Structure 1
């Protein structure tokens, strides 16, 4: 909560995401897909815990966290997980030498709506460039519309049901880059 009061545009929520939302975020990750799973903005780690509980091996998880305090806490809380201290909006540069193969999924808890739509779309494009074809970019929002407009930026998005058991209620969106003809 203190982190949100100190930096509300960087820390997206007053409280950590709940278990129901974390489980919904982990569900679209294909356990059989090869490659690392990249998590952007893990904060205190509720999504990380859900990904591990779902069966993602710790050595497959690459977390990108902006806050020094959260990054240090994540390293202690999740041994074997790679924690990269850096700006997720510079994912291409931050992860350039960290991924041995394309990512199988990107799971994001970033407060996307604090950035202009073109910057949000650029983030997705950068992440898709680091990922395997058809890899999902999984994002939640407290809003009712997709956090990255799909028509304007040529993404395919599937909005899941609202997770009412989260405080506040949230919706999970799964984005994919359309296959090139």
Structure 2
């Protein structure tokens, strides 16, 4: 079942900056250095980034947490969607990507740290509930229990019903349904324009 899509805003990113071919080289270099940390050889494509952003309602109050932003394709899509930079909090582990994100997205809060320990990484840094979490982490490289722990941490920082949005190249949910209790998991149509094709999963904990 697919949640109804809301129309995308035409708002531009700060200074009109987009993703350039240099990002491909950065991602490939990062992947060759630490493949289990980076998890992909290239950034998410625009079609996948927009599919992820469409499940964030920019009218809902609160902060939007993005984990594993890399070089910023999903960040760009979220801002185009209508989420103001001041409401975006990013956790990025790769030290090379942090200054790039700071230059590309003025006004966005960027924290270098471990997103799998999101509660500790953000301790004292956010003063309001999250309205959504958008994740590009390579979850399939981690044990299921660690994926579930991440999901629970993000829900604990979120308002009731806030989505946890995660993409995967796999055919099954990246956090298995049997491991999440009453939490719901809904999948989007496969994004064929992304290479490789991917699907977005939306998790919600009942209010």
Query: Normalising by structure 2, what TM-score?
Result: 0.85
Q: What corresponds to 1:171 in structure 2?
A: 199
Task: Find out whether 1:83 has 2:110 as its counterpart.
Answer: yes
Say yes or no: does 1:44 pair with 2:71. yes
Aligned match of 2:157: 130
Structure 1 unmatched ranges of 5 or more: none
Residues 88-167 of structure 1 mapped to structure 2, 5 A cutoff: 88-154=115-181, 155-167=183-195
The count of aligned residue pairs is 179
1:13 equivalent to 2:40? Answer yes
3-state SS in 1 of match to 2:133: strand
SS of residue paired to 1:33: coil
Which ranges in structure 2 are unaligned for 5 or more consecutive residues?
1-27
- Is structure 2 residue 99 aligned with structure 1 residue 72? yes
| 1:38-58: CA deviation from partner (whole Å, max 9, x where unpaired) | 000000000000000111000
C-alpha distance in structure 2 between counterparts of 1:69 and 1:125, whole Å: 28
Moved over 6 A (4+): none
Q: CA deviation at 1:177?
A: 1.3
Secondary structure of the residue aligned to 1:165 is: coil
Secondary structure of the residue that 2:91 maps to in structure 1? strand
TM-score (norm 1): 0.97
Instruction: State how far apart, in whole Å, the 1-side matches of 2:206 and 2:38 are.
Output: 30
**Structure 1 CA distance, aligned partners of 2:100 and 2:121?**
19
